[in-house]
Chain A
């Protein structure tokens, strides 16, 4: 019910850095062909780790136009965010010199900060973990940028010249969706006309892999990396870590229209709830996620009958996929089996805070192409997961409204509703 809102947030540009394809074109090529980008870890030697697979980006910051100083100053996560933000701005055609800088905001989702450089710096100042009392003289000048995730938002803000509200939104694995939702609120309430929003994470480092090993949340099956992530499959056995970024230029609709910008999508609705149950555990009934879905649909003024595609969280853990299936059944009732629902994590892994934004990008492309990306590696039906997960092959079908959901550590449950952009009035 967009008419209820005086100021409507629309997406006019986007940029993606994802495993298997940098940029919107290669990203969608991977999605629409159902290829997987999971492989044995190359960013560090994974020998000795329980899980040795991940979905990595072939990311060369220099080739992508970052200067040597930018490369030194920024962790991989910030580099990815900046590259994605540049693609998004170019895609939007927005000339920021034409916008008052205090009307431009930044909201970037991120779960685990500048992990790679933070850990490398730790290793140096502790001399490989030998010293509790670190040698401060060995710290490089940008160590603090690696310690605080806010540096990520600051880099983007400086890059685009934003002087409005700038923040990192950090709700673990729902950060990407929550950052997009936060950006929509800034536009609706009038705090900004343009929000450069999205998310980035680059967690493929020894400490993050070790954390997930300890939780036994990642797959222990290293024998077939290309088929390691198996959401909704009976043989699923855990997540595969990923990395990447997706950044959007979100604008107030009239602002976009004044400059004749094409709307890629409309942010129709958003809601978050918490399960207040457990930091990592999920109740089987999916109740709070279902409430988030219901609330986001109500916020959008959209009925379940209007949803054409559900972009699932589908992390590929036993409990998540069961939980999510239950939530969708609660919210969609008799329609639950009729709506195609897929997990792109099967192809590009779970990039923690980034994935929600990358999934929003996939959802927008699904609307634009009337094509639902598949759930790859779905070969064995699971009686606990009995919805239409679009196994292995993308499906052509009209897509106007997408529900994208996320669920994460801390108990956060988030739902975003996206709609097709309106044509620019002649």
Chain B
């Protein structure tokens, strides 16, 4: 498995939302801000999950996706998977 970093996640978030007109401020501490407040709807979170899945090469379970309510939760999941 290749390493998955914060930068990878930022890149994925940018491309899923493609938010150049109203960019998410990913310079501040956004990791614990719920996706909803970052203007990522349920569909966008599913798209993020797919892209993460592609990066780490492991299918993410539905329960795990349901828990991905913040960017930090995504990183936590990936880190857990990498250790396992």
Q: Which A residues contact B (CB, under 8 angstroms)? A: 50, 214-216, 220, 237, 278-281
Contact = CB atoms under 8 A, between A and B. Distances in A.
A215 B61 CA distance: 12
A216 B59 contact: no
A176 to B, nearest CB: 24
Given A50-B59, A220-B62, A215 B46 contact: yes
A50 B65 CA distance: 13
A211 to B, nearest CB: 11
B65 A281 contact: no
Nearest to A220: B62
Interface string B14-44: 0000000000000000000000000001110
A110 B21 CA distance: 35
A36 to B, nearest CB: 22
A53 to B, nearest CB: 15
Interface string B53-77: 0000001011001000000000000
Contact of B46 (A50, A214, A278): A214
Nearest to A217: B46
Contacts of B43: 215, 278-281
A214 B42 contact: no
Interface residues of B, number: 10
A281 B59 CA distance: 23
Contacts of B61: 220
A379 B43 CA distance: 30
Contacts of B46: 214-216
Nearest to A48: B59
B41 A216 contact: no
Nearest to B63: A220
20 contacts: A50-B59, A214-B46, A214-B47, A214-B50, A215-B46, A216-B46, A216-B62, A216-B65, A220-B61, A220-B62, A237-B62, A278-B41, A278-B42, A278-B43, A279-B43, A280-B42, A280-B43, A281-B41, A281-B42, A281-B43
Contacts of A278: 41-43
Contacts of A281: 41-43
B49 to A, nearest CB: 8
A215 B65 CA distance: 11
A279 to B, nearest CB: 7
A265 to B, nearest CB: 38
B68 to A, nearest CB: 12
A349 B49 CA distance: 26
A220 B47 CA distance: 18
A216 B42 CA distance: 11
A237 B61 CA distance: 13
Contacts of B50: 214
B67 to A, nearest CB: 13
Given A50-B59, A278-B41, 10 more contacts: A214-B47, A216-B62, A216-B65, A220-B61, A237-B62, A278-B42, A280-B43, A281-B41, A281-B42, A281-B43
Contacts of A280: 42-43
Contacts of A214: 46-47, 50
A207 to B, nearest CB: 14
Contacts of A279: 43
Nearest to B59: A50
Contacts of B59: 50
Nearest to A214: B50
A216 B60 CA distance: 11
B38 to A, nearest CB: 17
* In the A-B complex, the 5 residue pairs with the closest CB atoms: A216-B62, A214-B50, A220-B62, A281-B42, A280-B43
